[in-house]
Every structure is written in C-alpha cells, then in structure tokens.
Chains A and B, each alone.
Chain A
C-alpha cells in the first residue's frame, strides 16, 4: 500500500514536472517578450472569441491604438480612424449624417459606433467585411474616407522613426505588412468593451430603474408593444447582428446586404446595430435619416413601409401600437444603456 502511494505520488510529481517544464513553450507570446492582454469583460457580456492568428498582447493593443489615432493612414495625413469615430459619441461621428473624408467629400453611410466589436462576426452596415481585421482596410482605401493606398501607407509606416521597431516587437519580421496593420488595429478595437451602463448596474443589483425606465424596459420587450428585443436582443450585446429590411424605402437607394450577397432578396437589408450607448450615436439608421430616437421609434411604430422583403416581425406588428408617452418610456430605457465609463475610459483616449 505504502509503495503504491509512493508510486502514485511520484507519477504525480512527474506529471507536474512535465507540465511545468513545458510551460515555457505554451505561450509563444511570452517567449517573444510580450505581455498577453487580459480582456476585462464585465459580467453580463459573454466571453470574447479571439482569432487564433491574432492573439492579443499589451504591446499589440498599444500599437493598434497608436495607429487608430494616427493620420499617417490617410492620403494626405490629415485624418485618422479616430477623426470619425470619436469616443464621446461612443466612437461614432458626432451628429452629422455622413462623415467628410480627406477630399472634403461626404460618405454614403452613417459612421458606425465602435462598441463591443469583438462580438460581431461581420462588419460595416452591410456586413461586407468578413472579420474585424479585414474591415480595417476599407476606410483607409475608400476615396470618400481616408483615401490612401496600402502601398503608400506601408511605405510611410516603414520609413517612420518609431513604427518599424514597434511592429517588429509585436509581429516579428523585418518589414511592416498590411496584415500587421490590420491585426494591430483589430486588437485595439476588441478592447473597446462597454458593459457598465445603468442597465448593467441595475442587473447587478447596484442601481435601480426609475418607474419610467422600468416601464420602458417592459415595453421594449413586449411583443405587442415595442417588440424591440426581437432583434435588439435584451442583455449583453443588444443585437443579434442579423440583416433586415425595416421598411425604410419602397425602393432602397442603397442595396445594403444585397450588394454583398448579390441576392435581390437581401436588397435594402442592413445589420441590426447594437443599442448600447444609442443615446450618444445620433443620427440613426444606415444613412442617418433620423435625427432623434423619437423619430426612430416612430418609424417602427407607424412609419415603416410594406416592402417586399420587410422583416416578418415588423410586417406582423400593428401600426400605431405605441402612444407618445410609451415612446418616451422606451427612450428613457434606452438612455440607461449609456456607459459613461466607456466614453471616458482613458484606455481608449487619444
């Protein structure tokens, strides 16, 4: 008996030694002298899946932030990602419908807020970017936005006094490549997590809704009332990130998701946006046509058109189901999704 215990304990010791001895090889990040970035995910939000080919590091996130705020990525070095994605507006662009690019030309869609992007699978209003990394090169090259070629941007980065060493530290290699720029910015963007609004605090028992906010939350989810939660799933991300035609136009001026799938039944469909920080991101819809949340909710209440591919949930909703005070209640609830910690977090500041 004693012998068998000894053997078991020896095997255990060896097993520990086995894992301990190999630990050094487990994290290639630490081997390179990098510090793994630990995401601080608030309770209520799910774990974030990080792509295996872009593990997050403190150094990678810092580099991504530097690039995010650096106009070096635009054609005439006057605009950065941060020029149209401003922290005080939850990283959307103030109150204008269409952001103005370096050539003083307006874009065609409203700048999206950058909030909890690590939970989304596809990017842009139409989901055209297949992952967060791939999204990065869109605004850089768009003639209506930063209007820069990747070849120029890389030449400038490679000739910069600081960037080559920073990139080499994070990604290795002797030259900065496109994929490194994409990965660094995506790393920074994945840290932009919002989950400490009044709504979240109430869920955690740290705060209480006002009577109006409480009524608003009930109307938000009630099927025969707001029914907002059908698509803007309540809790965590406040969107299922699917594509829908919400009856904005009989003939959509922007084919939306249809431009990506080339399927006419997807024309005029756009990604359901998250409602977190929605009170900060006016104007609303893909083209910013609604200046206020009132206008927005009134569209879903009475304004929507019976388009051929109108979302079935909306098609089955009775027009005029909300009265003006109920709309105000829902707006009061939506304001509880504003996360002041997020918009003041120095980690995301320029």
Chain B
C-alpha cells in the first residue's frame, strides 16, 4: 500500500509541476527550417500597365476621363495560398496596402511550408467578426483613418483624387468602398507556380485600378465621382465594384 501512496504522490507532483510548466515555458521558437520559407506577396499598384504615381493628372479610364490619384488604400485580408493538391495555407492576415508607402504594399508570411502553390485567394476588406470593433491594433488601428467612427466598421478600399470634367475643370473624386456587403473574395491563378523549397520567395501581383471602372459598365467620373457606401443608393455601385475587383488583380511573377 505504501508503494501505491508513493506512486500517487509522485504522480501528483509530476502533474502539479507539469501543468504549470507549460505556461511558463515559451513555445519553441519557429526557426526557419528547410521545411518552410518566408513568402512575400507584393502588390504593384498600376493603371493599365503604368506604375501608379500619386498626384499626377495622367491616367485615363475606359470612359475617357482624365484623372489623378491622391490616395489609394485598401485592406487585403486572409491570404490563402493554394497548393497543387488543393490543400490551403491561410495566413490569417489583415494588411493595409497604402500606395503612398511602398513598404506597406505587401503581405509577409514567415513560415510557408515547402510545396508547389498554384493559386492565391484573399479578401478585399475585413471579415465580419473583426469589422465591427475599433479597439484593434496594427493595420486595424483607427488612427490609420480607415474606420468609420459613427458606424463602427472599416472602409475596405479608398480611392481619392481628381478628375477633369467635361468642361475641362478638375473636380474632386472620392470612392470609399465599405460595409459588410462590400467584403470581396478574390482568386488569382498563378500562371507560374510558386515553388517553396526552403528559401525566401516573393510572389508579385499587379493591381490595375482602371479595372474597377470598366466592368460591367464603364464608369464616367462626370456622373459618378463620390461614393461613400453610406446610403442604400450606393448598393448597386458597391455590387458593380465587387464584380470589378475580381479581375483587377493579376499574376505577375515569382522571384
């Protein structure tokens, strides 16, 4: 019987220490092994093949309006890399791409398992469970100016600037794409697969702003130049834009 008592004591002691130890010992750090590598997804903002330059009245949309971009910001969230066997790696990210700062125009993932990736999926916008709370940090910090303070929710996409109207006068242009209705899923096939084999890779995507103003109908900035997503009258515009986003992102290359 003594023996049993000793065993119980010993067991209990082990449980006591083991149970606490878990919390005190840091998780083993995820060092880059040969089984994975850092992957950067870079977003190049363009207008019909020209790299986007802010503040330049030099772009023409499909409707023939001359325009300039002063601000271009959008959220890319939940990037998913799709392997050739259709398994997925979800980055669970929330990244604000700000065209005025190239260092923000990318999504980085430290440890992407080795493999051949043939597709990428992501969302423009912030998913519902994160969209209605302002007390968040990082790229969701309200100080970044992408959240409504009167109706808690993020603006998913902003394009602000000017257009030259039919009388030759430069007028303000502001498109704010927001509300849960605007949450958009994008899928881009990778023409050349992203092969991860233990060394860092960069997957380059292009975003063509003009694509937003072409489908299903060409947007004439003389008619449509201010949309805030803040009235039901903006719903058709939101729905059109949602459709237009799907082919605005295209694969460029893997480096």
Contacts and interface: CB of A to CB of B under 8 A. Distances in A.
Interface of A: 3, 6-7, 10-11, 13-15, 17-18, 21-22, 25, 53-54, 124, 128-131, 133-134, 136-138, 140-142, 150-151, 154, 177-179, 182-183, 186, 259-260, 262-264
Contact of B4 (A7, A17, A53, A131): A7
B170 to A, nearest CB: 25
B136 interface: yes
Interface of B: 1, 4-5, 8-9, 12-13, 15-17, 19-20, 23-24, 132-137, 141-143, 145, 147-153, 179, 230-232, 235
Contact of B141 (A13, A140, A179): A179
Nearest to B235: A262
B20 A22 contact: yes
B143 A154 contact: yes
Nearest to A155: B143
Contacts of B13: 14
A128 B152 contact: yes
A134 B135 contact: yes
Contacts of B230: 259, 262
A14 B137 CA distance: 42
B149 A22 contact: no
A73 to B, nearest CB: 13
Contacts of A124: 150
Given A128-B152, A134-B133, A179-B135, A7 B142 contact: no
B227 to A, nearest CB: 13
Nearest to A255: B231
Nearest to A10: B8
Contacts of B132: 130-131, 134
A10 B6 CA distance: 10
Contacts of B137: 177, 179
Contact of A177 (B141, B147, B235): B141
Contacts of B1: 3
Given A54-B135, A178-B141, A264-B232, A131 B152 contact: yes
Nearest to B136: A179
A154 B144 CA distance: 12
B12 A133 contact: no
Contacts of A14: 8-9, 12-13, 15-16
B19 A10 contact: no
B135 A182 contact: yes
A14 B20 CA distance: 13
Given A25-B24, A124-B150, 18 more contacts: A7-B8, A18-B15, A18-B16, A22-B23, A54-B135, A128-B148, A128-B152, A131-B134, A131-B135, A137-B149, A138-B149, A140-B149, A150-B142, A150-B145, A154-B143, A179-B134, A179-B135, A262-B235
User: Which 4 A/B pairs are nearest by Cβ-Cβ distance?
Assistant: A14-B12, A130-B152, A134-B134, A133-B135
A338 B101 CA distance: 54
B134 A17 contact: no
Contacts of A133: 133-135
B12 A18 contact: yes
B205 to A, nearest CB: 30
Contacts of B147: 137
A11 to B, nearest CB: 7
9 contacts: A11-B12, A17-B16, A128-B152, A134-B149, A142-B149, A178-B134, A178-B142, A262-B230, A262-B232
Given A21-B20, A134-B133, A137-B134, A178 B152 contact: no
A13 B5 CA distance: 13
B124 to A, nearest CB: 20
Contacts of A10: 5, 8-9, 12
B20 A129 contact: no
A181 to B, nearest CB: 9
A221 to B, nearest CB: 34
Contact of B19 (A22, A54, A178): A22
A131 B133 contact: yes
A141 B149 contact: yes
Contacts of A129: 134, 149-150, 152
Contacts of A13: 12
A194 to B, nearest CB: 25
A18 B16 CA distance: 5
